[in-house]
Amino acid sequence: MMDLIKTRRSIRMYKDDDVDDSTLLELIEAATWAPSGSNVQPWYFVVVKDKKVLHQINSFSPGMFGGPPAVIAMCTDRQKAYDKAGPLGRDELATMDICMASQNLMLLATEKGLGTCPIRSFSRTAISKILNLPDHIHPDLLISVGYPAKPAQAPKRKPVSEVTYFDTWGVVR
Amino acid sequence: MNWADILDVFSFMSVAARGCVAEPRLYGPLRLVDSMSRWYHLLKKNNLVTDERLGAVIDEIDRLKYTCMTDEEAFIGMLDDVVKALVDLHRQQE
C-alpha cells in the first residue's frame, strides 16, 4: 500500500490510448467506498470521453494539461449534504468526502498503470454548463485519467518528524 | 487563423484571469507563460512565426512550467531565463 501511495503522481502528459469504460467504472466504484460525513455519500461522477466535450472542458480549465483521453468530473450534491448534515455538511463535509473519494480513485488508477491529475483550476460556471449539471450539483474536482506518456518525478516530501507532534502541539518523540 | 483556435486561447485566458483572483500566487505567472506558449503554438500552426530561437524559449517554458507546483526556485529561475532570452532576441533584432 505504501508503495502504491508513493507511486501515484500527478500526470500532465498522456498517451492517446483509450481507457475502457469498465476500468473507469471500477475507479468510480473505489471512489464510492470512501468514507463520508453522516454517510451522506454526496458524490456524483460524470465520465467524459467524447473528444468534443473534452475539448470544451480543456478550453475552460487552465489547470488541465497533457491531452487526457478521459476526465472524471467529481461532483457533490450540496442540497443532499445540507438536508442531512446542515451547513457543516454542505460547506465542509461534502468537500472532504469528495476529496477522500478522489484519493481512492487515483490510487486504484495507479495500481492499474493509469495516470491521473486532480484539477481545481477550472471555471465552475463553464463546467456546469458544458456538462449540463443541475443547479444543486457542484463540480468540485476534475480528474484527468489516461496512460502516462512519461513518468513524473516525485516532489520532495517534508519528513514525518517535521510535521508530527504527540499528544499536544510542539511535543516530539 | 482558425476561429475555434482563437476562441480556445481566449477562453483559457479569461478563465485563468478569473481563477487568479483566488488561486495560489505563482499560478498567475504560470498562466501568463502558458498563454505565451499557447499563442506561440497557434501562430506557428498558421506559419505566422518561424523563428527557431523563439521556439527554443517556448520549449523551455513548456518543459519547466510544471515546476510551479513542485519547485518554486526552478520555476522562478525559468521565468528569469525567459526574460533574459527575450532580451537577447531584442538585441539581435536591433
A48 band by pLDDT with thresholds 50, 70 and 90:
very high
Q: Could you say which DSSP state residue A153 is in?
A: P
Q: How far, in Å, are A87, A106, A131 from residue A137 at the CA level?
A: 16, 22, 11
Give the cell for residue A63. Answer: 489547470
Q: How many structural domains does chain B have?
A: 1
End-to-end distance of chain B based on CA atoms, in angstroms? 29
Burial of A20 (0-12, 13-18, 19+ CB in 10 A): exposed
Mean residue pLDDT across chain A: 96
The reported pTM is 0.87
pLDDT of residue A154: 87
Contact A62 B70 (CB under 8 A): no
> Which of B12, B19, B66 is closest, CB to CB, to A59?
B12
Tell me the sheet residues that pair with A115.
A146
Segments forming the whole domain that contains residue B34:
3-93
Mutate to test the interface with A, among B2, B11, B68 (most CBs of A within 10 A): B11
Residue A74's identity, in one-letter code, is M
> How far, in whole angstroms, is CA A50 from its chain's centroid?
19
Q: How many CB atoms lie within 10 A of CB B50?
A: 9
* pLDDT higher than 90, residue A62: yes
A-side interface with B, Cβ within 8 Å? Answer: 10, 12, 55, 58-63, 65, 121-123, 126, 153, 155
Q: How far, in Å, are A24, A67, A153, B6, B88 from residue A17 at the CA level?
A: 14, 11, 22, 27, 41
Contact B70 A153 (CB under 8 A): yes
pLDDT of residue B94: 73
Q: What is the pLDDT of residues B26-77, one digit of tens each?
A: 999 999 999 999 999 999 999 999 889 999 999 999 999 999 988 999 999 9
Domains of chain A: which residue ranges? 2-163
CATH architecture of the domain covering A2-163: 3-Layer(aba) Sandwich (3.40)
B67 inside 8 A of chain A by CB = no
Q: How far, in Å, are B12, B36, B41, B58, B82 from residue B64 at the CA level?
A: 19, 14, 17, 10, 11
Contact A155 B70 (CB under 8 A): yes
Contact A59 B7 (CB under 8 A): yes
Q: What is the pLDDT of residues A112-139, one digit of tens each?
A: 999 999 999 999 999 999 999 999 999 9
Q: How far, in Å, are A37, A90, A100 from residue A87 at the CA level?
A: 12, 5, 19
B12 inside 8 A of chain A by CB = yes
